[in-house]
Amino acid sequence: MFEKVLIANRGEIAVRIIRACKELGIKTVAVYSEADRDSLHVKLADESVCIGPPSAAQSYLNIQNIIAAAKTKKADAIHPGYGFLAENAYFAEMCSTCGITFIGPSSHSVQIMGDKASAKAEMEKAGIPVVPGSGGVIEDEDHALSVASKIGYPVIIKATAGGGGRGMRLAQNPEELRKSVALARQEAEAAFGNPQIYLEKYIEEPRHVEIQILGDVHGNVIHLYERDCSIQRRHQKILEEAPSPAISPELRERMGSDAVKAARQVGYYSAGTVEFLLDRNGNYYFIEMNTRIQVEHGVTEMVTGIDLIKQQILIAAGEKLKFKQEDIKLCGHAIECRINAEDPLRNFVPTPGKVEFYHAPGGFGIRVDSAIYTGCEVSPYYDSMIAKVIAWAPTRQEAISRMKRALMEMQVDGIPTNIPFHLKIMDNAFFQRGEIYTNFIQRRLLG
Ligand code: ADP
């Protein structure tokens, strides 16, 4: 087992990883930017190293400084968390070149799945249903128009290197498509440094249902059922739950075994997520695989009792999975609300600043993963998520009541947050009935 792990991240996920390491008896090294000197992850780790100025490009994305920090502190492994370098194949490669274990999948898996067009092609080979589309990158306008006329409108243009809900454009007809191709390429180049785009049929009012995977380096792969992440704003998740209120045990089995097949296709190990869109007719389509731990992993932990971060660490250390598929049981229901420092009354603008007072909710069935404390500064440099509140209960209905109670208990003074917005979701009749599609927020709350 590793003696020391460096955590190449910040915020709640760095804290989450430090907690797992502590429970496994592993020493921890935190890295931080100059803006994060007083951050909780720095206080909780055994050791810490400053890796650069506030901007992420110069600190949390600075591969050289992070590897140098790991070498100086004699860490034998690096956990990348999510975001930043978590899905950077070059970083994974550099770790192994420098004799440091990357706590994640092979750089090969990261690379294949990181390019959304090649990931889809790979999945088709494995016989996994994918959203009908261009089956590769779009060369030009004419190519786009001919693909779209085959699959039918509306279509969505996506950047092969896209992520975080960005790099997507909807086209309802040939005119819109013609206008969008060049624009989408420019946007992709600007946002991801890669102009490649591809085309997909736009699925109307789908649900986003994703399957959690765990694989070891010995070729064992299992799934830990699904999460429903249909509650999104601008294609970004803000609330997730497990299990999905929408799928039958039979569909759950089929999606689970397809996700395992997907992982096997690329020789996947570590934790990963296979994302699907589910249409109104119960057809599901692969959209992408995330080769990292996800923000919403906690809801799966609550309903399966399995600590996914510890599993990632054990797998990276070469251990065999301790459970077989039939050992994974679903128990109860869990809902996660992403608490963001943003103002729902002002079009969700980020609201960084000082937290004058913080009181975390608690009690039976409530879990809070956060890195804020009274007096801390929420930095304008990074993601606006400040906490994840997870409610577990035997049934979905009880989990909703419990979440509502927790959100009302939670106090974050000094900066506006989206807590009132989450309370609106809890009170919404469509949400309560599980009638949730990816346009829920636009249609039922903002529309
Ligand atoms: P990202 O990597 O940016 O998160 P994804 O491919 O995972 O992008 O898609 C994010 C969200 O965008 C999905 O959950 C869904 O709401 C929407 N989306 C993506 N592809 C389609 C599609 N073909 N049809 C309809 N909605 C889509």
Nearest to 299 by CA among 180, 211, 371: 211
Residue % of the chain over a pLDDT of 90: 96
Cα of first residue to Cα of last residue in the chain, in angstroms, is 52
**Reported confidence tier of residue 319, pLDDT bands at 50, 70, 90:** very high
- Residue 237 Cβ < 6 Å to ligand 1: no
CA dihedral 279, 282, 283, 287 (to 10 degrees): 50
- Residue 287 Cβ < 6 Å to ligand 1: yes
Quick check: is 292 catalytic?
yes
Distance 208 CA to ligand 1 centre (A): 8
Nearest to 103 by CA among 318, 325, 320, 290: 318
pLDDT reading at 357 higher than 90 = yes
Segments of the chain assigned to CATH 3.40.50.20: 4-103
216/135: higher pLDDT: 216
Summarize the confidence of residues 361-367 as an average pLDDT. 98
pLDDT reading at 447 higher than 90 = no
Q: To the nearest whole number, what is the mean pLDDT of the chain?
A: 97
Tokens at 56, concatenated: 């992420």
Give the separation between CA 364 and CA 379, rounded to whole angstroms: 31
What pLDDT score does 394 carry?
A: 98
Summarize the confidence of residues 63-80 as an average pLDDT. 98
pLDDT reading at 72 higher than 90 = yes
Pocket test for ligand 1, best of 120, 235, 289, 295 (most atoms within 8 A of CB): 235
By the 10 Å C-beta count (0-12 exposed, 13-18 middle, 19+ buried), 134 is classed as buried
* Spatial contact of 51 and 63, defined as CB atoms under 8 Å apart: no
Give the separation between CA 305 and CA 437, rounded to whole angstroms: 27
CATH of 4-103, one of 3.40.50.970, 3.40.50.20, 1.10.8.60, 3.60.110.10: 3.40.50.20
- Residue 208 Cβ < 6 Å to ligand 1: yes
Distance 78 CA to ligand 1 centre (A): 30
Distance 276 CA to ligand 1 centre (A): 9
Give the range among 138-142, 199-203, 291-295 with minimum mean pLDDT: 138-142
pLDDT reading at 162 higher than 90 = no
Distance 288 CA to ligand 1 centre (A): 9
Give the separation between CA 5 and CA 355, rounded to whole angstroms: 30
Summarize the confidence of residues 360-371 as an average pLDDT. 98
Distance 124 CA to ligand 1 centre (A): 18
pLDDT reading at 213 higher than 90 = yes
The residue from 292, 338, 367, 402 that is catalytic is 292
Nearest-atom number in ligand 1 for the CA of 133 is 23
- Residue 228 Cβ < 6 Å to ligand 1: no
Tokens at 372, concatenated: 């804020």
- Residue 275 Cβ < 6 Å to ligand 1: yes
Summarize the confidence of residues 414-433 as an average pLDDT. 98
pLDDT tens readout for residues 298-308: 999 999 999 99
What pLDDT score does 428 carry?
A: 98
**Reported confidence tier of residue 167, pLDDT bands at 50, 70, 90:** confident
Segments of the chain assigned to CATH 3.30.1490.20: 141-201
- Residue 181 Cβ < 6 Å to ligand 1: no
Tokens at 253, concatenated: 């089995």
Tokens at 170, concatenated: 């909807």
Question: Which bin fits 384, alpha (ψ -120 to 50), beta or left (φ > 0)?
Answer: alpha
* Spatial contact of 55 and 47, defined as CB atoms under 8 Å apart: no
pLDDT tens readout for residues 48-66: 999 999 999 999 999 999 9
CATH of 141-201, one of 1.10.3720.10, 3.30.1490.20, 3.20.20.60, 1.10.760.10: 3.30.1490.20
Under CATH, what is the fold of the domain 207-445? D-amino Acid Aminotransferase; Chain A, domain 1 (3.30.470)
Give the separation between CA 447 and CA 444, rounded to whole angstroms: 6
Give the separation between CA 409 and CA 427, rounded to whole angstroms: 16
In this structure, which residue's CA is closest to atom 17 in ligand 1? Answer: 235
Nearest-atom number in ligand 1 for the CA of 287 is 6
Segments of the chain assigned to CATH 3.30.470.20: 207-445
Give the range among 173-177, 180-184, 237-241, 263-267 with minimum mean pLDDT: 180-184
In this structure, which residue's CA is closest to atom 13 in ligand 1? Answer: 235
> What is the ipTM for the molecules in this complex?
0.97
